[in-house]
Amino acid sequence: MAVDERSNGAEPTRGSLLYDPKVRGIFFQAVLLIAIVWIAWYATTNAIANLQRQNIASGFGFLGATASFEISQTLISYSPASTYGRAFVVGLLNTLLVAGIGVVFATLIGLLVGIARLSSNWLLRQLATAYVEVLRNIPVLLQLVFWYFAVLKALPGPRQSLTFSGVALNIRGLFLPRPVFGAGSGLFDIAVIVALVAIGVVHVWARRRQVATGQQFPVFWTSLALLVGLPFLALAATGFPVTFDVPELKGFNYVGGIIVGPELVALVLGLTLYTASYIAEIVRAGIVAVNKGQSEAAHALGLSQGTTLRLVVLPQALRVIIPPLTSQYLNLTKNSSLAVAIGYPDLVGVFAGTVLNQTGQAIECILITMGVYLAISLVTSGIMNWFNARVALVER
């Protein structure tokens, strides 16, 4: 007859540590960690030794050296006398510009096309389907090349530009009037800031009012009136101290105004239309995922089709739309590195291209470039996760 050791008050016999799953797990994790650290140490020391053997400088001191090259598009002041560090900032800002514009327009186009995919209008539904099927099945690099070489490079020269009310379009880009703010325009800036703050206050107040009373407030039209009305009143009070620098044809090209290069236009067009085709399918899937009974109940209460879509269906569809939408934003940002194919001076083209070739410090340039894209992606994911948590269904 078996005797229970615990019933006798004796301590249970411990087996060998080799047969303890917990100990084995800790042991193998420690071995793996040591192996990873050793590989990283070996790769680092080996790279440093190879660089020293080939007399290649290492470190980040090159960022303070003179760049000595031009950049075709800059959002901040830059010249060949600037440093490599400033060239890095210029490339970073150009990348953020493309990503920001692309995300906004891809979202708008994707939302409209996704709704059109479910339209009861046969022609509109087929056009939306054709858009999605054509654009998402062609590589984005080919689309960038198409827009740049087949469309924008086919535009007329400066003397035969397409002009309309101070706007000129030719093979060298899009030329727009540039506002020039004179003395007293500081009140305009203050009015814009006040309008933005007021819009935020109105949005919060309207949301609390709707939760408390169920009554809606025209937030959009009120916000639009604040955003347009307050700056207009400020300009009127200061005698409209704003003039426009209209581009003029002088010699062989237009001078003045805002110049949007054909590389930027082609890049934004290609990335926006390509990403919008995926977003359209995400929006369609999100709307289909909402129970049809929700729409039927809204119609029974007398809501129109558009109001039902805007106030009932889309808010619930956001819970399905946002997670895959985040991936599309990240893809758009990373795909902007294809700009090097059409000559747009983004971060990869400027820093991981020209700066790397001139300095020969490949490890530092590539590490910085990869770190920047990683940081942009993490920040984008963090913002979208925060927004997703706000619209997520809360269980009570």
Question: Rounded to whole angstroms, how far apart are CA atoms 100 and 106?
Answer: 10
Average pLDDT over residues 363-371: 91
Q: Which residues contact 205 (CB under 8 A, 6 or more apart)?
A: 217
Q: Please give the structure tokens belonging to residue 236.
A: 């009127």
Q: 250: burial class by Cβ within 10 Å (0-12, 13-18, 19+)?
A: exposed
Count of CB atoms within 10 A of residue 179's CB? 12
Please determine, for residue 393, whether its predicted confidence score (pLDDT) is greater than 70.
no
Percent of the chain with pLDDT over 70: 95
CA distance 47 to 363: 9
pLDDT tens, 13-70? 666 777 788 888 899 999 999 999 999 999 888 888 887 787 777 778 889 999 989 9
- What residues have CB less than 8 Å from 298, skipping those under 6 apart? 307, 308, 311, 312
* pLDDT for residue 12: 59
All structural domains of the chain with their residue ranges: 182-239
List CB contacts of 323: < 8 A, sequence separation 6 or more.
388
pLDDT band with cut points at 50, 70 and 90 for residue 11: low
Dihedral, 266, 270, 272, 275 alpha carbons, nearest 10: -160
What mean pLDDT is reported for the chain? 87
Strand partners, 242: 181
Fill in the DSSP letter of residue 270.
Answer: H
pLDDT band at 3 (very low <50, low <70, confident <90, very high): very low
Please calculate the CA angle 85-73-231 and round it to the nearest 5 degrees.
105
Chain position carrying tokens 């590389």: 263
Find the helix or strand (DSSP H, E) in which 276 lies.
helix 262-289
CA distance 74 to 102: 18
- pLDDT score at 2: 45
Please give the Cα distance from 228 to 191 (Å, whole number): 10
Residues in the chain: 396
Whole-prediction pTM value?
0.80
The span from the CA of 97 to the CA of 91, in Å, is 10
Beta strand 258-260 with 173-176 is antiparallel
Between CA 362 and CA 328 the distance in angstroms is 29
Q: Tell me how far apart the alpha carbons of residues 275 and 104 are, in angstroms, rounded to a whole number.
A: 11
Give the span between the Cα atoms of 99 and 108, in whole angstroms.
14
- Nearest CA to 141 out of 337, 377, 348, 354 is that of 337
DSSP 381-394: HHHHHHHHHHHSPP
